[in-house]
């Protein structure tokens, strides 16, 4: 994996952090945060966020690379960044779901290392397929929202840096 540049690293981490905080606020406001966190060990919670963080930085890096390759990029038109964010956001949703499934399987195998547990995997595949479709759509919507926000943030950064064109630079 290539090292993420500053733009991808900052935007990817921003997305992962805001997503986690938004989820935290919604669950807290609904009154179910203590129950949700009680069912999660520290190691499992850390693994979940680290997975979300890694997948989000990876897909943000790919989305920015796709934008940099687009014909509009040299002219400073940020429009193509939004569809790129939508596509890579959809993939991020699926990636994170599969990561969740693998970490859940590892947690179950660690507590009950039996062959029967592994036999459940083929039975879970139809559910995982349907869940992947849902994650694809949710990821695309989240990507669309963040892509739109990113365009505004990049415009603000351009005005702060005093640039004549929008640069999504690799530094």
Q: Does 9 bind other proteins (CB under 8 A)?
A: yes
Q: Does 26 bind other proteins (CB under 8 A)?
A: no
Which residues have a Cβ under 8 Å from the Cβ of 37 and sit 6 or more positions away? 45
Minimal distance in Å, beta carbon 145 to other proteins?
Answer: 13
User: Distance (Å, rounded) from C-alpha 14 to C-alpha 145?
Assistant: 13
Q: Are 107 and 44 in contact (CB under 8 A)?
A: yes
Cβ burial, residue 41 (10 Å; 0-12/13-18/19+) = exposed
Near other proteins by CB under 8 A: residue from 40, 102, 106, 137: 40
Near other proteins by CB under 8 A: residue from 24, 109, 120, 125: 24
- 59: which 2 tokens? 């897909």
Near other proteins by CB under 8 A: residue from 6, 106, 109, 121: 6
Alpha helices in 30-80 (DSSP H): 33-38, 42-69
Q: Does 58 bind other proteins (CB under 8 A)?
A: no
Helices (H) and strands (E) in the chain, counts: 5, 0
Kindly determine how many residues on this chain lie close enough to bind other proteins according to the rule CB under 8 A: 43
- 19: which 2 tokens? 């997503």
One symbol per residue from 146 to 165: x for binding other proteins (CB under 8 A), - otherwise; what is it? -------xx-xxx-xxxx--
Q: Are 127 and 111 in contact (CB under 8 A)?
A: no
Stretch 75-134 residues interacting with other proteins (CB under 8 A)? 110
Minimal distance in Å, beta carbon 23 to other proteins?
Answer: 10
User: Distance (Å, rounded) from C-alpha 7 to C-alpha 82?
Assistant: 16
Q: Does 53 bind other proteins (CB under 8 A)?
A: yes
- Where along the sequence are the contacts to other proteins (CB under 8 A)? 5-7, 9-11, 13-14, 16-18, 20-21, 24-25, 28-29, 31, 33-34, 37-38, 40, 42, 45-46, 49-50, 53, 110, 153-154, 156-158, 160-163, 167, 169-171
């Amino acid at each position: 994996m290539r090292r993420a540049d500053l733009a991808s690293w900052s935007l990817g981490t921003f997305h992962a952090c805001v997503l986690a905080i938004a989820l935290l606020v919604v669950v807290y406001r609904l009154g179910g945060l203590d129950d949700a966190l009680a069912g999660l060990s520290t190691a499992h919670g850390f693994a979940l966020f680290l997975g979300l963080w890694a997948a989000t930085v990876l897909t943000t890096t790919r989305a920015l690379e796709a934008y940099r390759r687009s014909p509009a990029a040299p002219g400073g038109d940020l429009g193509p960044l939004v569809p790129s964010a939508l596509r890579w956001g959809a993939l991020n949703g699926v990636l994170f779901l599969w990561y969740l499934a693998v970490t859940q399987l590892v947690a179950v195998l660690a507590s009950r290392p039996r062959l029967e547990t592994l036999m459940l995997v083929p039975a879970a595949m139809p559910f995982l397929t349907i869940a992947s479709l849902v994650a694809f759509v949710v990821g695309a919507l989240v990507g669309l929202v963040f892509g739109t926000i990113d365009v505004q943030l990049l415009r603000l950064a351009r005005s702060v840096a005093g640039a004549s064109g929008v640069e999504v630079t690799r530094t």
